Structure 1
């Protein structure tokens, strides 16, 4: 019993060795020449060269020439593997190209060119996966926003939640994770692309901090698109144009000149100090009038909204946002009006086509005169 129990672990160890060594180690007691040939049959040139180094098979002269043949065959195999991998990569099959090169790494002598190409393909694969994952998340986020809005519109029309095509609570569980992913993607982008990602995240999971970032980015983009104020415009000219804009109640143009703040100069005296003070006073007037106008547009829009004139309300609130993009009341009202319009559009039933009366001929076809009795 003791002998048999001791043989079982030994058999397991030998089996593990055979699995690790592969075909070249199926017979560990075979002569080196035979094991070398088996390695060559398997295309494992690296293993064959290692066996030649380790065991120095006889006759040495013959195996010296044989080794040179194996090295040439290995070079040919390495070139073929690189060509095959490049062809696969050119077709977009990056994973297949990596498989080819990783198999070559195991069976062929080391090569710096092959190793560098493997690293390049691995980087390419990672970038491609990240890009596709980002696109997938964006598409899922857009679809989720539409699904939740549709279910919100459908909910009042059904008697039981089970009658809805999907479970709103289950869908809502994806909101926060997707919004966080979109925030991360936005951090790696700039300009309009960043703004689009942040808006999409905000539609999924509203957050005050994200709303602040959106407002700041919108302001930056508007300022970037605004006509640049002429360089080296005299301070008196800036104030004169600002005053003209205010007199004409052109608050948008006034905003342009107030964005070109006159830099305070501690050493300024006389007219320069007066120009600085005048500019501050004029811009303060512009801000007060802008805020007052924004409130007027907000209230006017509320009047249209209460009367059911949603489109008119939306126009007033959009005009107010153009003047004061950070106005919280206008932002909330504008978003609410957009949601209502979307709901109304989703509930709109197409008008039926007018029925055709086959007995009535078309107007342009002359009717036959009735026959005389």
Structure 2
């Protein structure tokens, strides 16, 4: 307290207000009492073309004719800086450095005049970043869920073998606490997918936190997928026609079409005689031939896939194994090889650099068109 009875801190609000103004105005306004010409030059030195142009428009420094020419030069420099920022952002995006590209463009947004092309590119990059983060988050959660399911199964096997739970490599209660939120995440991810991917996510959720309602959804989805894979056979097709089509498929080495007729084999009719008995016998012989060729083809595809796998051609290996599983879904070797290949492909995919974004300046003719995908 001074002699006048006033605190020296009473002037603090005014001081803070002045400091706030200085901070808001940035580099171009470090000294708000300097002549406009000096503040404009300081803004240009800092690369803040937008502030420099605003100061020119606001203060209209003298002589006006000279600063009118100076303004044109600043606009040209700002345009060049904007082009350079876009080039740098595109290069960073092409390398997968989306965060770096956004940083460059957001700095340009602060220091350069508004530009719709730059704004659109920022929005495009931000969408890509969000999608990438969500995809990687789901992949991370899925990998964690798989590992956690295996850990819990291992502890269930080990528990009867130890005398005290402290001897287990992990705490079952801690794993159970981690399981519940992961199971909910798997349920949410499954709701946004369909087919085999949805089934896998639901099975993971069930392994983490069993629920009767989810078990029913899994069973219903399994039935739905089996029905979708089941080949359609025309009703009331004469047996002679079935054999003719089966024989034709075998002659063409079309084992998939042959399966259509042999997976729905003719039920032997004890009362059949003459031509009907002959058709039944012919059908059994043809289906036996199909099974032998199917098994041999499955083994061939398994070995060819292993050769591709050993050479590092994972996609080719998976293609051969999937073709084999279409012929023989219960083949244990194909199932194991395919699962192993999928895990490797997933690890490789997690290391893959994202595809670069298209050039915003490119015309439709310059953008490569994706080839149609054959179902």
**TM-score, normalised to structure 2's length?**
0.61
* Counterpart residue number, 2:14: 10
CA RMSD of aligned residues (A): 2.3
Cα pair 2:40 2:52 within 8 Å, conserved: yes
* Counterpart residue number, 1:196: 200
Q: How far, CA to CA, are the matches of 1:183 and 1:33 in structure 2? A: 63
One of 102, 108, 112 as aligned partner of 1:98: 102
Cα pair 2:186 2:201 within 8 Å, conserved: yes
Q: How far, CA to CA, are the matches of 2:207 and 2:264 in structure 1? A: 32
Q: In the alignment, is residue 119 of structure 1 matched against residue 118 of structure 2?
A: no
One of 38, 48, 53 as aligned partner of 1:49: 53
Per-residue Cα deviation, 1:141-183 (whole angstroms, up to 9, x for no partner): 0000111111122222222222222111011112221111111
Q: How far, CA to CA, are the matches of 1:26 and 1:125 in structure 2? A: 35
Q: In the alignment, is residue 228 of structure 1 matched against residue 228 of structure 2?
A: no
Secondary structure in 2 aligned to 1:2?
coil
Q: How is 1:184-333 mapped onto 2 (pairs within 5 angstroms)?
A: 184-230=188-234, 233=235, 253=264
* Counterpart residue number, 1:173: 177
Q: How far, CA to CA, are the matches of 1:36 and 1:229 in structure 2? A: 82
Q: How is 1:337-356 mapped onto 2 (pairs within 5 angstroms)?
A: none
Q: In the alignment, is residue 153 of structure 1 matched against residue 181 of structure 2?
A: no
Secondary structure in 2 aligned to 1:67?
helix
User: Can you give the 5+ residue segments of structure 2 that lack an aligned partner in the other structure?
Assistant: 243-262, 266-375
**Radius of gyration: which is bigger?**
1
User: Can you give the 5+ residue segments of structure 1 that lack an aligned partner in the other structure?
Assistant: 242-251, 255-373
Q: How far, CA to CA, are the matches of 1:191 and 1:155 in structure 2? A: 36
Q: How far, CA to CA, are the matches of 1:174 and 1:104 in structure 2? A: 43
Q: In the alignment, is residue 35 of structure 1 matched against residue 44 of structure 2?
A: no
Relative contact order, higher structure (CA 8 A, sep 6+): 2
Secondary structure in 1 aligned to 2:80?
helix
Q: How far, CA to CA, are the matches of 1:163 and 1:127 in structure 2? A: 43
Q: Following TM superposition, where does structure 1 have runs of at least 4 consecutive aligned residues deviating by more than 6 angstroms?
A: none
Q: In the alignment, is residue 138 of structure 1 matched against residue 142 of structure 2?
A: yes
Between 186-195 and 97-106, report the one with greater CA deviation. Answer: 186-195
